[in-house]
Amino acid sequence: MLMKAHEADNHIHLDFVPMVDVLFNLLIFFLLATTIKQAEREIQIALPIASSAVPISVSLREIVINVNEKGEIIVVGGVVEPDELRRQIMEAVGINPDQKVTIRGDRNASYASIVRVLDICKASGIQEPYLDTVLSD
């Protein structure tokens, strides 16, 4: 009588469910970690080009003021009036005398709009406001 030998179970069984769970958790972690940005840097402003531009430094103490093409002043994603901007900057300078301010003016914004923001910064106690530009090719 012929007896068949049972084939040895040489198959390695991989359960993909835990592996997929781990991959999804890693994916979610990295997506969240990379998409947390400053709201001020996400506003669509066409910065002017300068040959000596430096990379934007991220500082927790930095206030970013955007001036769009229409001359509107935007801080933390919302349009503010000049008086409100002056009040915000004076409060920040009162807390931190070394307050840093970056002004990001659209290249098509009028010069007067950007000078108005610079004047507010200087009058509110900011010694050296920084004008943001992009590096020329």
The DSSP annotation for the chain comes to ---PPPPP--PPP--HHHHHHHHHHHHHHHHHHHH---GGGGS---PPEETT--PPPP-TTEEEEEE-TT--EEETTEEE-HHHHHHHHHHHHHH-TT-EEEEEE-TTS-HHHHHHHHHHHHHTT-S-PEEP-EE--
- For the chain, what are the domain ranges? 39-135
pTM tops 0.75: no
Q: What is the pLDDT of residues 6-58, one digit of tens each?
A: 665 567 777 888 889 999 999 988 877 766 554 456 667 777 777 766 554 43
State percent of the chain over pLDDT 70.
76
What is the model's pLDDT at position 12? Answer: 76
Identify the residue with better confidence: 59 or 82.
Answer: 82
Q: What is the pLDDT of residues 108-135, one digit of tens each?
A: 999 999 999 999 999 999 988 988 888 7
Architecture of the domain whose range is 39-135: 2-Layer Sandwich (3.30)
